[in-house]
Amino acid sequence: MQHARATLRKIFAEKVCEQAGAEAPLLAWPVVCGATVAEKTRALSFEGGVLAVAVPDPAWRSQLQGMSDQYLAGLVQIAGKQVKGISFVVASQAKR
């Protein structure tokens, strides 16, 4: 299963993210975080090298911040070195 996941990430990076340009981190977020987290979060914007991600509540923000290094490594692998950080924002506090 790990081999299949790595292959799919490589295909996604080559075929989708390379052509998406600045939108690549937004598209890569659900792939990097996985289906369970993707159901509860939403990539909002990508500015200045930072991906803003809406989370349902402060508990989710705290949990995901603890895993941010892992997610950042995945984003860099898929979307490129333009990603410098992730900002988790509680959805009720996100700009609309």
CATH number of the domain at 16, please.
3.30.300.180
Q: What is the pLDDT of residue 95?
A: 58
Three-class SS state of 94? coil
Q: Is 72 helix (H, G, I), strand (E, B) or coil?
A: helix
Which domain range does residue 12 map to? 2-93
Number of domains, the chain: 1
CB burial of 56-90 (b: ≥16 within 10 Å; e: otherwise) equals eeeebbeebeeeeeebbebbbbbbeeebeebebbe
The SS3 assignment for 57 reads coil
pLDDT tens-digit readout, 8-65: 666 656 656 566 678 889 989 998 999 999 999 999 999 999 999 999 999 999 999 9
